[in-house]
Amino acid sequence: MTFSKRFIRFNWVVLVLIYLVVIAGSFVRITGSGMGCPDWPKCFGEWVPPTNADELPSNYREAYLEKRTKKVEKFTKVLDAISMEETSAVLLSDPSVYKEEPFNATKTWIEYVNRLFGFLAGNAMLLVFFWLLFAYRKSKLLWVSAINLILMAFQAWFGSIVVATNLVPWTITIHMFMALLIIGIQIYFIAAATDRQNIFQRFTLPKWMLTMLWLIFAITFYQMFLGTQVRESIDLLIKKGVVQSEWTEGVGLPFYIHRSFSWLVLILLCVVFWFNEKGKQYSAIRLSFFVLAMELFSGVLLAHVDMPSLVRTAHLLFASIMFGALCWLLLQARAEKS
C-alpha cells in the first residue's frame, strides 16, 4: 500500500510537534515551572490561566494541595497493586510532595505553553489515526499509530502524576523514557510509510560498523537517563546553595560516568564518520556526527560556563535529535552479506 506524500509530510509535522513538547518540557524543568499549574488538565481551574494572583481565591494553595494529596493517594494505591509498596511508602512520606508553591504568572504560562504543545501533538496523532482508519485501514501501520496514540495518552496522564507528586525525580525519568519511546515509534512509522513509496533510502554497512552504531545507540539511550539523574543531583545542590565550581564533586560518580560515556560515543562515532567519508558518505551518519558534536559542546558549556537555561535546553534537544537520527539510521542500515 502506497501512502500519499501529504500523509507522510504531515507525519513529519507530528514528529516536530513531539520534539517541541520535549523542548518545552525541558524549559519547564529548567525554569522550575513544573508546578506553575497545580491542577491538570486545566490550569487553576481554567482553560486559559490567570495572569494575576488577584484572580485566584485567597485559599487556592490549600485547595489545590488537598486535591493533589487525594491524587497522590490514588496513585500510591496503584503502586501498591503492582507490588511497589516501598516506592508507595516513600512517596507518601516525602514532605516535598505536600508543598504548594505560590502563584507565579511567568511559571504558570511557561507550563501552560508546554501543555498546549502536548495538546497539539496529541491531536495531530489522533488525526493520523483517523486518516489511516478512513484512507488506509488495511495497512498494518494502523496498529502502530494506535499504540503510539495510547502511549501519548498515557504520557499525558502521567504528566498529571508528575505534577501531583510535585516533580518527584523518578517520575520525571519515566516521563523522559515515554517521550523517547514515542519519538522512536513515530520515526519508525515515518520510515515504514516512506518505504511503501519505494523512496526510503536503504544502504549496507560492514557488520562491524553496524554493530558499532548499535552500541552508540545503546550508550546514547542510557546517557539520556544518566543525564537526567545528573541534572536532578545538580538541582539538589543548587537548592543547598552549592556553587557551580563544586557541582562536579557534589554529583560524584554519575557525572564522571556521564562524561566518560560521552567521549566514548564521540570516539566510536568518529571512527564510523571517518570510514563513511572515505566511502559512500551517507548523510544520516554525517547528521549523527555533527549533532553529537553540538551535544558535547553544550555539555562542556554546562560543566564550565554559567549559561544554564538555554544551554540545558539545547543539550537535551541535541541529545533527543541524536536519538532520533540514530533510530532513522539504524532503520536504513543493513549488514553486508559475508
> pLDDT digit string (tens) for 77-92?
877 887 777 777 877 7
Tell me the β-bridge partners of 202: none
Mean pLDDT for the stretch of residues 272-296: 77
| Strands, E assignment, the chain | 203-205, 333-335
What are the tens digits of pLDDT across the range 311-335?
667 777 788 888 888 888 888 887 7
Question: For the chain, what are the domain ranges?
Answer: 1-185, 201-338
In this prediction, residue 199 has a pLDDT band, given cuts at 50, 70 and 90, of: low
For cell 557525572, name the residue. Answer: 255
In this structure, the number of other CB atoms found within 10 A of the CB of residue 202 comes to: 10
User: Can you give the pLDDT at residue 221?
Assistant: 85
What is the rounded CA–CA span in Å between residue 125 and residue 131? 10
User: Can you give the pLDDT at residue 305?
Assistant: 58
Mean pLDDT for the stretch of residues 236-244: 69
Smallest Cα–Cα separation from 328: which of 196, 217, 177? 217
User: Can you give the pLDDT at residue 200?
Assistant: 64
What is the rounded CA–CA span in Å between residue 279 and residue 277? 5
Mean pLDDT for the stretch of residues 45-72: 78
Q: Cis (ω within 30 of 0) for the bond into 49?
A: no
In this prediction, residue 198 has a pLDDT band, given cuts at 50, 70 and 90, of: low
Lowest mean pLDDT among 45-49, 161-165, 306-310: 306-310
- DSSP assignment of 304-332 equals HSS-HHHHHHHHHHHHHHHHHHHHHHHHH
What are the tens digits of pLDDT across the range 128-187?
999 999 988 888 899 999 999 999 998 888 877 776 666 666 777 788 888 889 999 999
User: Can you give the pLDDT at residue 303?
Assistant: 61
Q: What are phi and psi of 35, to 5 degrees?
A: -100, 20
pLDDT above 90: residue 205: no
What is the rounded CA–CA span in Å between residue 109 and residue 111? 5
Contact 183, 18 (CB under 8 A): yes
